[in-house]
Structure 1
Amino acid sequence: MENLPKDLWHHLAEEDVFEALKSNHHEGLTKQEVEERLRLFGPNAITAQKPVPAWKRFLLQFHNPLIYILLVATVVTFFLKEYIDSAVIFGVVIINAIIGYMQESKAEEAINSLKKMLSANANVVRDGKRISVPATELVPGDIVYLASGDKVPADLRLFENRDLQIDESALTGESVAVQKERAQLEKDTVLADRVNMAFAGTLVTYGQGGGVVIATGDDTETGKIAHMISEAVSLDTPLTQKIHAFSKILLYVILGLAAVTFLVGLFHGQDWVSTFMAAVALAVAAIPEGLPAVVTITLAIGVRRMAMRNAIVRKLPAVETLGSTTIICSDKTGTLTENQMTVQKVFAGDQEYDLSGSGYQPEGEVKPVDGTALTSLPVALRECLVAGLISNDSDLIQKEGLWQVQGDPTEGALITSGLKAGLDRDALLQTHKRLDVIPFESDRQYMATLHHFDEQQNVIYLKGSLERTLIRCKDAQDAEGNPLALDRDKITAMAEKFAAMGLRVLCLAMQRVPKSETTFDRFHSQEDAEQLTFIGLQAMIDPPRAEAIRAVATCQRAGISVKMITGDHALTARAIAEQIGIAHPEGKEEKHRVLTGRELAEMSDHELLAEVEKVAVFARVAPEQKLKLVTALQAKKHVVAMTGDGVNDAPALKKADIGVAMGIAGTEVSKEAADMVLTDDNFATIEGAVEEGRNVFDNLVKFITWILPTNMGQGMVIMVAILIGATLPVLPVQALWLNMTTAVFLGLMLAFEPREPGIMKRMPRIPDSPILSGEMMGRIVSVSTLLLIGAFGLFQWALAQGETEEVARTLAVTLFVVVQSAFLFNCRSLTISLFRTPIFSNPWIWGGVGAMLLAQLAFIYTPLMNTLFQSAPLTLQHWGLMLAYGVVVLLLVEVEKAFWRARKARKTKTSERTGSSEQQSLS
């Protein structure tokens, strides 16, 4: 038992399987054998990932350079005996940690939810008796019997099959239930094509079967996926990576400046204690205490906005990550498509018809391909649709406003096509009562039903594969039902045409028989005779969502590449990709071809890296290959979003920069592994998520561009004062007041800034690019310099006018508030002119400026604040000077923005002229 043939069970002959497992399909295992194997293999359960302790997860929230800065600020202000400020800063740290802890997903939940994939009980044969046992007690070698509605309890090699069909979409991505067979398969058969196997967690939709357990628990295909989820490393998002790098640089710069300031003060012979406190003041002034809190709050606002757009974000930075996305890897079934089989083409009476509508909803119409309307159903078309309606064991039901199929999805599609033509199925079943049936079997490849027709005769309807049905036909019908010579070549060509469109083709035939013929006895005895009349073809597909087509086009315009990664067949995947716009029929380039799982398996890592960016459609892909594709794209420096709904998608969802799960059709495993869940299962929602993500990043850049001049300006003011041996214009406690109040009342308002026009026409940000461009860094330095000139100048002017140090410092501090309020309006857009930005499109800005004004008035004019912050009342003359300087700064920034816009416009015109000249020379 220790040397079982791993991953070759589908290739072995049935007798070799039983021999390897030391089992017998009549007697099963004995009680003693089960006990021994339970000790050897363990219970049939997936091992849960060891969870990270709650305390450790909470402490990890503090593992961030910006948080280190805040903790240093807390300690410094505490030793300065500014206990209130110390408590406020530490409160920001704690709130930030709590929000992060609450929002971060728990990876172990993805593993634990996989336990639900195993059924509670299983029907087994032990000691020669069929009994029901808990699924957790199954062991390799157990004989298990399956029936319609059962969840497969372990991985099985099938040895008995009675029309067994299993829905494996959650595991393989295959949109249609798989018809199982007992055939011995080739060694290299991919997972989705192993029709002689049944896999743990999949659902039996039809028929019955029996199999021998070949793997349990962690060794099942579902268990292997659980292992991949636990091993997949969740990467830092682009935002967190950039914030970490930015924070480290900021930390080193602040500490370096403080050290230089201290040494310069000592060099000038100043008292070391006062020099040290000045260095501390510089550090406290330069630390942007509000940055981590505002980053978190801005992301939380993005989360709320996304929830309103049907996307639930489970990890805060995921909102911004979508804005950075360069590639979306999408599953096909249920994500880009309806996950509902739909008949789109009918060929009957030597004529081709189109059917409109999608899914199981019986709304749509049948029209000839030339688009003309039908005043009545031609006889041949009606016969073809009736055959699909009543030679059928499934049913359509309406549940909570949605049409669903009970039974086989293919049969559900046939019912819908008949209802679209106005046929009454219930009435037909009454007038054409079923007398006998030949169920569908894989070796037969057809289903036949015998019905009452009229007082003289009965009728046989048969539906099945083209190959097995057409050979039994002797003639055909014209549109009006008159006999027509059978043109096998034309019918085969039409079927091939439909198949090339990715459609699944069913052939339908009929035969009128005497009234006395009420069973299929004679039909069986003449199985090789050409006795049927060909009545038509019905061709179906799981159609693409209309909104997904629009969303893919929008993403492509935004420079985001969309790739389809599916477990479905290559032809079907290609057809859907063409309809959606991921691939194009006329495309000759690499990106328009389909790469299969078998081809992927034969590629080396180096070959995959060379191909992965070129190909847009990947079909018959195994779960581990999805993970491999995401990893390869990340190795090419792409920010990858992965969408999916099945268990097979979970490892790739967790590995991707952002995993997007489907909320309705998605399994619990996929939802737990994802960063974001779409409540409407609509790929189009991702378009809104990308748009919202870009807006979140825009607003964060606006905030950082706005806040840094405050800190840099304060630091420069203090440093210049120390260098020239002057009195400090801003005290540490006043710097803290500035940093916290302006960040909350002014800077935070930028988080509510609406999306700028054309946000989805931009190319994605280059993943390695810094948060701030050279243009923004120049603006930060220029505004910081203006603050230095204004604050230091006003401070020295006030002292020269005989004002007290308290009044002079209050002037300097308030000037920062006035200039930052003016600069806030500049930062509503970093490129568009303030005078072209709708003035009331963000009312929060006005509310923030008003709140800041009230807070600053309290800082200036209330005795308590004068005592706490060493401030003093100002005169109207002082206010006039500050407001005038604020207007000057606002206008200078707008002039600088105009300069950059003009420069970009010139570059664009130059590149257009260059391109036009090259085109003319080529012509």
Structure 2
Amino acid sequence: MPTVPTSGNVPHGLAAHEVLLSLDTDGEHGLTTEEATRRRERFGPNLLPATAGAGVVTRMLRQFHHPLIYVLIAAGAITAGLGEFVDSAVIFAVVVVNAIIGFVQESKAEGALDALRSMVRGEASVVRDGREEKVPAEDLVPGDLVRVAAGDKVPADLRLVRPAELRVDESALTGESAPVVKDEAVLPEPTPMADRRNMAYSGTLVTSGSGTGVTVATGARTELGRIHRLVGSAQTLATPLTEKLSWFSKVLTVAILSLAALTFGVGVVRGEKPVEMFTAAIALAVGAIPEGLPAAVTITLAIGVARMARRRAVIRRLPAVETLGGTTVICSDKTGTLTENQMTVRAVWTPDGEYEVTGSGYDPDGELRDGDANVVTAEASEALRWCLLAGAGCTDAAFVLDGGRRTLAGDPTEGAMLVAAGKGGLPPEQVTTACPRIATIPFTSARGYMATLHHDRATGDHVVLVKGAAERVLAMCRAQLTADGTAVPLRPDAVLAATERLAGRGLRVLATAIGPGHGATAPRLDEDALPGTLVLTGLQAMHDPPRPAAAAAVRACHTAGITVKMITGDHAKTATAIAGHLGLIGEGPDGRVLTETDLAALPAERYPDAVDRASVFARVSPEQKLRLVKALQARKHIVAMTGDGVNDAPALRQANIGIAMGTGGTEVAKEAADMVLTDDDFATIEAAVEEGRGVFDNLTKFIVWTLPTNIGEGMVILVAILIGARLPILPTQILWINMTTAVALGLMLAFEPKEAGIMNRPPRDPGRPLLTGALLIRILLVSALLVGGSWWIFKWEEAIGSGLTEARTAALNLFVTVGVFYLFSCRSLTRSMWRIGPLSNRWVIGGVTVQALGQAAITYLPAMNHLFRTAPIGAQSWLRIVAIAVLASLVVAVDKRLRRTA
């Protein structure tokens, strides 16, 4: 039985015949059908295994495992015990709805693994028993001889044995924007995956050429399978909001149970009946539980989701809305995220001048401009014309219409040269018609150039067009072309200087040349005859351009106190150039560019600090991306990770919020992410962060608004028990206050517009508690006013001869009226309601109107009086209630003013 090399380190370090020998297979005839069947039984199908997960029932029950849910379930049970079955049903409905939402979102997240598994399905061309045949890709086994051609998806990890001008697009796996030229040369074992030219990996795409390779890994053993395991092992982290709410819920639960136990104990010690004290303890618990909080959280997040959708950001998991608001670091993939993933010629150099090329990507709109910024065409210079012709004619790429969309079939570099020729007045179809191709010398990494023989119909002659690496083409040239078409002696120093200058701008430089085609006689393209016969026409310099709005978005993030780091599988020089255009590289040590080699050499204790200080990470593998995110999280950062490829999926899932590209992103990345950008625009992240900050503000406002009422209700019951007095407010009345005000008043804060300057402040400190000390003091101030005010008005009403029912009705209305006035104060936690406009949130006005009608009903309708044991009260009572509410508003206003001036 063969010894299968490990895909990660051995096959690329062995000669092709050694790999064939170790796999006990034939390099010409492949495996026999019988042997392939035996190996499939041993190694299993070429599929990524489904990760064993919790069952449906377990995942549903897990949604109830949260302290706040425990509190709500207890509240529902207590309310049912009091006979208030309608209110109990509402509470339990909130619990069930929250559980369903969590269950659905968790189920969607599991789709990331399914998307990965689908990438290796399809058919493969395999040689068995000496015959080539098509088999399902899942039937491939180690040792199978597989043949791939342009347009094929590589079905397994292959050690190439006979590549023929093979180029493979590995961007989804490595982040490298340009297709990789493959050969069969033996490589050192430490060679990074992105540089393993003798390997073709499962899930990547063949862009040109063909090749034969021996299967060295299938299914979970492939590089794609390794990423699959990383995705499965990456922890889906709790968001800052859920972590803080969990802590808040635990504290609240302990406080409620302690106060209820104290109430019961004090009453029994004082000689009260245990049953009555148990009822009082239940009343205290009901009053202290913020029943509306889960609904408020869900609805506020849902409103944030809707707002973000209008700004082209689709949220897949509700808490991600809030997480964005607390983001301190955005780790952005380069290719397709900060850049367009479309190579673009930026400059054309010819021996008689240099031309700027405008436009971006594969969009044909653009033009050529000379040194005086004048628009020119190919006719302006023979050197320019032949430089563009060589780029457009010496190519295997072409643009096709796919569903009405213009897409490139072939190498992005060749696509860029086709577009540049079109901008110069030489559209590809015209080049093909005017100079049809007759013969080709294809590009190889060893050769360093591509040459094609064409028939120039305008002159009847034949011409050779060449493009390739500047040094290689230059070595074959005898002369250079001038603007009038004259061949003059070659000036290699000037050509090399121009090459270095353009490369220093982060551009990839290719040289073009022309050669004789033996006139009108029988044409022949002879590789050995080319050196010393070519005439240099010029240089074309290109890059994968940054997205138009990316630089502005990066600046906006910096203004908001958010650090942006670029993480890419591309080369350090290319990454540095793009980072410079985007303003990512700063002065001093914070502008460092680290490669995977640099990161691997860092001691563990220095790793987090180095990662925190660096701006650009180049040539980074999926494991390193994952490690980078974890290191930043260890530094207490809230990390957002953007990406579009398969290689980004593990880090997307590990990050506090994963952001995938909707148009250019793979399904794997989308399924692993918490948010998908429908326009693939990095600038949309800025808008999403703004919405996220607004959501967290509104949630905080709701909590600051609702807690005084709950604390006040609980303390009123506790005081009554401690002093042996009658309850100023009954449990059923407490339920009325909590349920109606939460819906009619508190939830209106979810619609509060974002405050001015929200993006000019730094991100929230991840270690900062949900409620700051200043907000806690404000909550306690309002709570004390409610306790004192309700007792004062209760005793006042009794003192002037009102009955017990009227006195309790006054206390009930006091709680609600103070809540109304306090609601306007909570619309901003730092500014006065007059500065933000009392009427600027129409939802609040509508909610107050609904609550006022409800209070009129419970106070004056006989049926409601009977149900809630209330009674009508007079105008004097209302004046006293409003006076206390105004006092509470003034206290809050003074507190805000003092803290602004402190």
Q: CA deviation at 1:581?
A: 1.1
Q: CA deviation at 1:241?
A: 0.3
Kept in 1: contact 2:174–2:647 (CA 8 A): yes
Q: Distance in 1 between matches of 2:32 and 2:399?
A: 44
- Name the aligned partner's letter for residue 489 of structure 1: D
Q: Distance in 1 between matches of 2:210 and 2:46?
A: 22
Q: Deviations over 1:333-352 (max 9, x none)?
A: 10111011101111113422
Q: Deviations over 1:579-622 (max 9, x none)?
A: 111114xx3x2332221112223334323223110111111111
In structure 1, the residue matched to 2:479 is 475
1:595 aligns with 2:598: no
In structure 1, the residue matched to 2:900 is 901
Of 884-893 and 201-210, the range deviating more from structure 2: 884-893
Q: Deviations over 1:467-514 (max 9, x none)?
A: 221101111123343333322122112112222222111110012444
Kept in 2: contact 1:456–1:514 (CA 8 A): no
From 305, 319, 322, the counterpart of 2:321 = 319
Q: What secondary structure sits across from 1:779 in the alignment?
A: helix
Kept in 2: contact 1:58–1:97 (CA 8 A): yes
Kept in 1: contact 2:290–2:706 (CA 8 A): yes
Question: Structure 1 residues 517, 557: closer, same or farther in 2, change over 3 A?
Answer: farther
In structure 1, the residue matched to 2:390 is 387
1:420 aligns with 2:457: no
From 345, 348, 351, the counterpart of 2:350 = 348
Kept in 1: contact 2:462–2:523 (CA 8 A): no
Q: What secondary structure sits across from 1:781 in the alignment?
A: helix
Q: CA deviation at 1:105?
A: 4.4
* Aligned counterparts, 1:278-293, within 5 A: 278-293=280-295
From 486, 492, 496, the counterpart of 2:490 = 486
Kept in 1: contact 2:376–2:424 (CA 8 A): no
In structure 2, the residue matched to 1:912 is none
Q: Distance in 1 between matches of 2:529 and 2:387?
A: 23
In structure 1, the residue matched to 2:775 is 776
Q: Distance in 2 between matches of 1:107 and 1:605?
A: 32
From 509, 531, 554, the counterpart of 2:513 = 509
In structure 2, the residue matched to 1:838 is 837
In structure 1, the residue matched to 2:451 is 448
Q: CA deviation at 1:13?
A: 0.9
List alignment gaps of at least 5 residues for structure 2: none
In structure 2, the residue matched to 1:793 is 792
1:90 aligns with 2:89: no
* Aligned counterparts, 1:147-166, within 5 A: 147-166=149-168
Q: Distance in 1 between matches of 2:2 and 2:23?
A: 10
Q: Distance in 2 between matches of 1:271 and 1:133?
A: 82
Q: Distance in 2 between matches of 1:771 and 1:711?
A: 17
Q: Deviations over 1:218-248 (max 9, x none)?
A: 0000011111111111111111000000111
Q: CA deviation at 1:824?
A: 0.5
Q: Distance in 1 between matches of 2:260 and 2:343?
A: 69
Question: Structure 1 residues 456, 33: closer, same or farther in 2, change over 3 A?
Answer: closer
In structure 1, the residue matched to 2:847 is 848
In structure 2, the residue matched to 1:109 is 111
Kept in 2: contact 1:119–1:201 (CA 8 A): no
Q: CA deviation at 1:518?
A: 4.3
Q: Deviations over 1:277-320 (max 9, x none)?
A: 22221111011111111111111111111111111111110010
Q: What secondary structure sits across from 2:13 in the alignment?
A: coil
Q: Distance in 1 between matches of 2:17 and 2:683?
A: 51
Q: Deviations over 1:678-702 (max 9, x none)?
A: 1111111111111111111000110
Q: CA deviation at 1:402?
A: 4.2
Q: CA deviation at 1:570?
A: 0.9
Q: Distance in 1 between matches of 2:875 and 2:459?
A: 107
Q: What secondary structure sits across from 1:886 in the alignment?
A: helix
Q: Distance in 2 between matches of 1:13 and 1:738?
A: 79
* Aligned counterparts, 1:165-314, within 5 A: 165-314=167-316
Q: CA deviation at 1:870?
A: 0.9
Q: Distance in 2 between matches of 1:710 and 1:276?
A: 22
From 145, 148, 151, the counterpart of 1:146 = 148
From 332, 335, 342, the counterpart of 1:333 = 335
In structure 2, the residue matched to 1:908 is none
Q: What secondary structure sits across from 1:606 in the alignment?
A: coil
Q: Distance in 2 between matches of 1:807 and 1:517?
A: 115
1:431 aligns with 2:430: no
From 55, 63, 73, the counterpart of 1:71 = 73
In structure 2, the residue matched to 1:371 is 373
- Name the aligned partner's letter for residue 440 of structure 1: F
Q: What secondary structure sits across from 1:761 in the alignment?
A: coil
From 41, 46, 49, the counterpart of 1:47 = 49
Q: What secondary structure sits across from 1:840 in the alignment?
A: coil
TM-score by length of 2: 0.97
Q: Deviations over 1:559-578 (max 9, x none)?
A: 11111111111111111111
Question: Structure 1 residues 831, 369: closer, same or farther in 2, change over 3 A?
Answer: farther
Kept in 1: contact 2:510–2:539 (CA 8 A): yes
In structure 2, the residue matched to 1:914 is none
In structure 2, the residue matched to 1:663 is 662
In structure 1, the residue matched to 2:704 is 705
Q: CA deviation at 1:370?
A: 5.0
Kept in 2: contact 1:119–1:152 (CA 8 A): no
* Aligned counterparts, 1:566-715, within 5 A: 566-584=568-586, 587=587, 589-715=588-714
In structure 1, the residue matched to 2:123 is 121
Of 259-268 and 499-508, the range deviating more from structure 2: 259-268
Q: What secondary structure sits across from 1:815 in the alignment?
A: helix
Q: What secondary structure sits across from 2:509 in the alignment?
A: strand
Q: CA deviation at 1:107?
A: 4.1
Question: Structure 1 residues 143, 456: closer, same or farther in 2, change over 3 A?
Answer: closer
Q: What secondary structure sits across from 2:212 in the alignment?
A: strand
Q: CA deviation at 1:392?
A: 2.0
CA RMSD of aligned residues (A): 1.6
* Aligned counterparts, 1:528-547, within 5 A: 529-547=531-549
Q: What secondary structure sits across from 1:307 in the alignment?
A: helix
- Name the aligned partner's letter for residue 390 of structure 1: G
Q: CA deviation at 1:871?
A: 1.1
Q: CA deviation at 1:90?
A: 1.3
Kept in 2: contact 1:105–1:315 (CA 8 A): no
Q: Distance in 2 between matches of 1:681 and 1:300?
A: 22
Q: What secondary structure sits across from 2:450 in the alignment?
A: strand
Kept in 1: contact 2:820–2:848 (CA 8 A): yes
TM-score by length of 1: 0.95
Q: Distance in 1 between matches of 2:442 and 2:524?
A: 12
Q: What secondary structure sits across from 1:404 in the alignment?
A: strand
- Name the aligned partner's letter for residue 213 of structure 2: G
Q: What secondary structure sits across from 1:539 in the alignment?
A: strand
In structure 1, the residue matched to 2:408 is 405
Kept in 2: contact 1:108–1:230 (CA 8 A): no
Q: What secondary structure sits across from 1:682 in the alignment?
A: coil
- Name the aligned partner's letter for residue 291 of structure 2: E
Q: Distance in 1 between matches of 2:153 and 2:820?
A: 63
Q: CA deviation at 1:380?
A: 1.8
- Name the aligned partner's letter for residue 507 of structure 1: A
Q: What secondary structure sits across from 1:104 in the alignment?
A: helix
Q: Distance in 2 between matches of 1:559 and 1:842?
A: 29
Kept in 2: contact 1:349–1:480 (CA 8 A): no
List alignment gaps of at least 5 residues for structure 1: 904-923
